[in-house]
Amino acid sequence: MNTYWKNKRVVITGGTSGLGKALALTLDSYEARVVIIARNRDRLKETVNHTNIHPIEGDIANKYDIHRLSGEAIGILGGIDFLFNNASYLGESPLRLLMDTECEDLEQVLTTNLVGPFRLTKALLPSMLMQHQGTVINISSDAAVSAYPQWGSYSVSKAAFDHLSRIWHEELNAQGIRFLAIDPGDMHTPMHLAAIPDADIDDLYQPDDVARRLLDFLSVEPASDQVRYSSREWNLERAI
């Protein structure tokens, strides 16, 4: 049990699957107060027995949802200590070469992975700025750094997301807002299955394990100016 998280007010986009769900359930067990945002109502309803988790239905890629989502989240929690911009879209599966990528698909990936989180962050920041504290964790990927063929749209979105985090940090760190871009590493989740259907599950980390370790890492407050962390940097315990 990590007592740091008790009563912390946390918003997680994409809290119904994979890493986001694992973060929400772990935080629930730590008695944090958690809002999760996702589109599928049935999966949101699965959290009904978790008293510390408050589901909100919405699409971060839809600009008309953002003010309702941020308003409801602040209304439920009263303020925000942590925002996990975790939800993301891989692009059309199977993944394809840039030459075969529809421009509209690239647009949708950027809207979901970059513009949507930017809008949500902007909408929630005033609440953090009023408190003079808050942490925004933008979930990155090694695809942000490595140029993997066929991962073009997603990679570009994550690289831009990393740099967005660095600029946010430069602009707002002095006002008490911390921005982090964290690569969680390869995990056994539906997104990974869609990207690499024949991956060896033994090579992947379980999202529950990643969530617990990530929350441990965040609770010791990395004090440096480092914004982006590769999975090896933040998760020394599991580095191989």
Q: Would you count residue 56 as binding ligand NAP (CB under 6 A)?
A: no
Closest to ligand NAP by CB, 77 vs 137, is 137
Q: Would you count residue 155 as binding ligand NAP (CB under 6 A)?
A: no
Which string of x and - marks every residue 181-220 that binds ligand NAP (by CB under 6 A)? ---x-xx-xxxx--------------x-------------
Closest to ligand NAP by CB, 40 vs 175, is 40
Stretch that binds ligand NAP, among 27-35, 45-53, 57-65, 102-110 (CB under 6 A): 57-65
Which string of x and - marks every residue 73-92 that binds ligand NAP (by CB under 6 A)? -------------xxxx---
Q: Do 96 and 150 touch, CB atoms closer than 8 A?
A: yes
205 is catalytic: no
For 201, which DSSP code?
Answer: G
Q: Which of 30, 154, 205, 229 is catalytic?
A: 154
Q: Would you count residue 60 as binding ligand NAP (CB under 6 A)?
A: yes
Q: Would you count residue 169 as binding ligand NAP (CB under 6 A)?
A: no
Helix, strand, coil % over all residues of the chain, rounded to 5: 50, 15, 35
Q: How far apart (Å, rounded) are the C-alpha atoms in residues 216 and 197?
A: 30
Closest to ligand NAP by CB, 17 vs 101, is 17
Indicate the angle between helix axes 207-219 and 18-29, nearest 10 degrees.
60
Query: Least distance to ligand NAP from the beta carbon of 49, Å?
Result: 18
Q: Do 192 and 174 touch, CB atoms closer than 8 A?
A: no
Q: What is the 3-state secondary structure (H, E, C) of 45-86?
A: HCCCCCCCEEEEECCCCCHHHHHHHHHHHHHHHCCCCEEEEC
Q: Would you count residue 37 as binding ligand NAP (CB under 6 A)?
A: yes
Report which of 205, 112, 206, 93 is spatially closest to residue 151, judged by C-alpha positions: 93
DSSP string, 100-116: G--HHHHHHHHIIIIIH
Active site residues: 154
Which residues of this chain interact with ligand NAP, rule CB under 6 A?
Answer: 13-14, 16-20, 37-40, 43, 59-61, 86-89, 112, 139, 141, 184, 186-187, 189-192, 207
